[in-house]
Amino acid sequence: MKIVVGLGNPDRKYAKNVHNLGFMVIDEVASKLGASIDKKGHKGLYATINLGGEKIILIKPQTYMNLSGESVKSIVDFYKVPTENLLVIYDDIDIDKGSIRIRQKGSAGTHNGMKNIVLHLGSSEFPRIRVGCKPDGFRGDLVDYVLSDINFSEFENAIDRASNAVISFIKGDKIDVVMNKFNG
């Protein structure tokens, strides 16, 4: 079993925000696999997919970004999924806009949603896909930037590539293979 988490904020007013790139990737994965993210539970909205005999859960926490760990901890504990079978997708202001970076593990960096997940899981030993959103010459508070709407054309390729990386992972490719295919 695998659990794939896309980070973002609920409410329509945040739907097109930089901070919702994780939700956008999850929505793209669901679209490609013909799934509907319409079940409620574990402080999130989720879909359950059977792919090649393996159960896959796609989840979008509804706790707001800074409390994402509550949802992740709930679903990981409920299904007793080892952290190597958890994949988290989120925006990263330290990576060039429109690029993606996949890692087996790592620190939460400055991302509050990831900090909360690491806090709740007590570990940073899980794979992640970071969607780059480094601001081009943005001046001001970074909170204002991550809560601003994206220009979809700048992220369309990254969302597509990240969704393909997720599908590769859930179809059974080890994370190092996924990294070799999609990083760079």
The catalytic residues are 19
Q: Tell me phi and psi for residue 166, to 5 degrees.
A: -60, -45
DSSP label at residue 149: B
Residue 66's identity, in one-letter code, is N
Q: Distance (Å, rounded) from C-alpha 7 to C-alpha 59? A: 9
End-to-end Cα, the chain, rounded Å: 28
Three-state secondary-structure class, residue 63: coil
Q: Contact 22/8 with Cβ under 8 angstroms? A: yes
Closest to 5 (Cα-Cα) out of 144, 121, 96, 109: 121
Q: Contact 101/92 with Cβ under 8 angstroms? A: yes
CA atoms within 13 A on the CB side of 160: 6
Three-state secondary-structure class, residue 142: helix
